[in-house]
Amino acid sequence: MIKRTLFLEKKASLSTRLEQLIINTDERNASVPIEDIGFIVIEHPETYVSIPALNKLVANNASVIFCNEKHMPSSMLLNLDGHYLQQELFGKQIQATEPLKKQLWQQIITHKIKNQAKLLTRLNKPPNPLSRYAGKVLSGDSDNREGAAAAYYWKNLFDFDFRRERTGEYPNLFLNYGYIILRAAVARALTGSGLLPTLGIHHHNRYNAYCLADDVMEPFRPLVDAKVVEIQKKDEEKDLTTEIKIELLSVLTHTVYFKTIQSPLMVALHQTCSSLQQCFTGTRKKINYPELWN
């Protein structure tokens, strides 16, 4: 089932009654079944949320995303009791060996580079040397094929000179917003699979509470990139407007493809994270990433 994403730009009051989220604004009142909600992005700093509403949202594994004074997502509220074997799974995750983590990182980077190549192909741009790099990723990506691929990818993705930065203006601002939303979706899927988003495979920043989410999301980044290219081609707007934010949020409902089924990204993320959980417990060897485009 596709969960709903709510974007609250204006001041609002959120409470709960009869398993409904009650949303009151100066303009209108509305109610949404809590079980239907996957994500809430709260942008206005004066929005009120009742504790019972937060507890019910978390109990239903909804991610509540809060924005800072610059209207950029800055924090998340996630369910840390989302799986009945959570303690056992945390133990398996903590005990993961370095060879296992290096093999998993090799898989992640291989998928990422393949998806970057596919996006360039869809944009009628030459994918080489990415296709070659994807087949030469070593365990742990010890010779940094990811970095070599990124240099070529960013140079060729847009039809203008572009420098990828974690800060900065358009289109970096669009990319960064989309990545934050993607990160939240992956973190939600990880907690639902009984994994701790803090314990990364490759990312190990001591100040980063979502290292594992940053690892797992890497192959999905080209979906955000594709959406930003799409926006850029049809709209000359360079400010991160509400309309553009809503377009970037729509990445969560993009259809992706496994071997026998297709599903929205937010559903597929649970399959990917569940397969990672099985890698940690030793019942499978490969992370199940979907094809991003048919």
- What is the Cα–Cα distance from 152 to 141, expressed in whole angstroms? 17
CATH class of 86-281: mainly alpha
List Cβ neighbours of 206 (8 Å cut-off, separation of 6 or more).
Answer: none
**147: its two tokens:** 């970095």
**232: its two tokens:** 């850029």
Topology annotation, domain 4-77: Ribosomal Protein L15; Chain: K; domain 2 (3.100.10)
List Cβ neighbours of 127 (8 Å cut-off, separation of 6 or more).
Answer: 116, 117, 118, 120, 121
Q: Domain ranges for the chain, please list them.
A: 4-77, 86-281
If residue 10 lies in a helix (H) or strand (E), which one and from where to where? none
**Does the global pTM surpass 0.85?**
yes
pLDDT of residue 1: 66
pLDDT tens for 124-148 read 999 989 989 999 999 999 999 999 9
Residue 105 vs residues 140, 147, 288: alpha-carbon distances, Å: 5, 14, 13
DSSP annotation of 169? S
Tell me the average pLDDT of the chain.
Answer: 92
Instruction: Quote the Cα angle for 158-164-169, to 5°.
Output: 90
pLDDT tens for 26-52 read 988 999 999 999 999 999 999 999 999
pLDDT for 207 beyond 70: no
Average of per-residue pLDDT across 49-57: 95
